[in-house]
A and B are shown apart, each in its own frame.
Chain A
């Protein structure tokens, strides 16, 4: 458990740094992929809600601390994302690539729609098609691609961790 906790902490911090670094390693066509959401969803798929909820919470908390006006709003959102995606854990097989891809793109899409709805539409910014075309869809697609990379990196590490833990228990 301890090793796993340390690993998650490092993963959260690294993805936060990647996503917010000023000079933008990952920028493509004016879009930065949502690395943190990829991390949360990947863990939800591979390990289920129980681990994704805390990881999501701390991801969101980090965003809250640095960019939010109040603590807790993004933490709540990310924790719920972790929980909901945990349901896909039952459908998940290690060799299946389609499910993660679809789930990840879908998540980025829904997440951006929510942000548009709560932070923009409610303030009377009506240019939905503009936001859809220039922010929401590019971010969803790009996030899905980056998420696959995150997924490929996490897969062997989490596998080994699980193995070690099993041995430790026995």
Chain B
């Protein structure tokens, strides 16, 4: 092959040209990222509509198939739910007694600003990360729709992740379970601060690790974990998950635990973006969220 094509460009030359382009791109995007933002906008205009199309076709097929199976499931579910209603009525009575207590506590914790107050906008997930390693996905709203970097993303009633890059018509979201994600959280009942560590490995087993809990913390199984007030990027009070296990860490200085996220990360289709960026001064650059 080498001899045949020596008159033209050889493979080595082609490689070195493209490697040079790569290095150039790396350098530019590291040192002057904003200048080449237009590239991702071009991609957004061309690829994103295709992704939307392919998703709507795929979802159509899936939902047609699901509708059949669902019918049977619904009937069963109905029976179960009827039984549940009776049990819940009982529980409701107990809970209404707790309401008074709760009000008092909320005032105490100043947690009354729940995330129902935040302005939100809906978005569709149009594409997920290439490969099986990282939990990154793309949503179909961008800066033209008012999305900004570091806005929080929720689904249902729990935290999904954070917007880390925005183009005109789409935005990239890093999810809570991404291996590089660290979220500053607090235990709702005891106000203890801790860090929720994203991990591909533990998430496949159905939980996330919680670290740096105070060793005297009275956290127990079933407690709710929310984003903390001291987090530099997450607005306060978004539910992350419930505690399933607590144990002393190996060095005995802190406690670690496991939580089960409330969001079903396997089936994310629609998410809500909270249109509020937390404004804080970053004190500690080493903690990445």
Contact = CB atoms under 8 A, between A and B. Distances in A.
Interface in A30-76: 30-32, 34, 36, 48-50, 53-54, 57, 61-67, 69-73, 75-76
Contacts of B83: none
Given A20-B130, A34-B131, A125-B179, A53 B55 contact: no
B134 A62 contact: no
Given A72-B29, A83-B15, A22 B126 contact: yes
B19 A49 contact: no
Interface string B243-284: 000000000000000000000000011000000000000000
Nearest to A18: B54
Interface string B37-77: 00110010001001100110011001000000000000000
Contacts of A13: 47, 50
Interface in B126-177: 126-134, 136-138, 165, 172
Nearest to B23: A72
Residue from A66, A67, A89 with most neighbouring chain B CB atoms (10 Å):
A66
A155 interface: no
B204 interface: yes
B228 interface: no
Interface residues of B, number: 54
A71 B58 contact: no
Q: Tell me if A's interface is mostly helix, strand, loop or mixed.
A: helix
B40 to A, nearest CB: 5
Interface stretch (A97-105, A128-136, A144-152, A157-165): A128-136
Interface in A1-49: 13, 16-17, 19-23, 25, 30-32, 34, 36, 48-49
A119 interface: yes
Contacts of A139: 131-132
B62 A23 contact: yes
A167 interface: no
Category for how many chain A residues contact B: 35 or more
B106 interface: no
A54 B18 contact: yes
A65 B62 contact: no
A101 to B, nearest CB: 21
Contacts of B130: 16, 19-20, 34, 36, 63, 66-67
Contact of A66 (B23, B43, B58, B269): B43
A54 B54 CA distance: 26
A54 B62 CA distance: 36
B22 interface: yes
A21 B43 contact: no
Given A72-B22, A127-B201, A67 B129 contact: yes
Interface string A109-121: 0001001100110
Given A34-B131, A36-B130, A65 B15 contact: no
Contact of B54 (A17, A48, A64, A119): A17
B136 A67 contact: yes
Contacts of B51: 17, 20-21
Interface string B228-252: 0000000000000000000000000
Residue from B11, B26, B39, B43 with most neighbouring chain A CB atoms (10 Å):
B11
Contacts of B95: none
Nearest to B41: A65
Interface in B177-220: 179-180, 199-201, 204
A90 interface: yes
B39 A65 contact: yes
B14 interface: yes
Contacts of B172: 66-67
Given A72-B24, A75-B25, 11 more contacts: A19-B130, A21-B54, A21-B58, A22-B126, A32-B132, A64-B25, A65-B39, A66-B40, A71-B26, A76-B19, A79-B18
15 contacts: A13-B50, A20-B127, A25-B58, A30-B132, A70-B25, A70-B29, A70-B33, A72-B24, A90-B1, A112-B133, A115-B133, A119-B133, A123-B179, A125-B201, A139-B131
